[in-house]
Amino acid sequence: MPILREYQQLQEQSKSLREQLISFENREDFKRESAFNRLKTLMADYNESALDVIKLVNTEKASASLRLYVRSE
């Protein structure tokens, strides 16, 4: 096969793969899994457990609710 034709085929394959990647990146299930994976990485980086994160989120949520309650009075 002439080298130019082989190069063109590789370009076509590359374009197809790019389109598939973009399609994946736009899927909601991929976005959720990717976000969860980033969270797991951050948890490992900071040596925190899922329970630690839940406690933190619940504390912040409770604090925000308390601020809203105090403002409304």
pLDDT of residue 28: 96
pLDDT of residue 23: 97
Give the whole-angstrom CA distance, residue 68 versus residue 60: 12
Q: CB–CB of 69/63 below 8 Å?
A: no
- Tens digits of residue pLDDT in 18-68: 999 999 999 999 999 999 999 999 999 999 998 888 888 888 666 666 455
pLDDT of residue 54: 84
Nearest one of 31, 28, 11 to 19, comparing CA atoms: 11
**Is 57 in a helix, a strand, or coil?**
helix
In this prediction, residue 14 has a pLDDT band, given cuts at 50, 70 and 90, of very high
Q: CB–CB of 43/49 below 8 Å?
A: yes
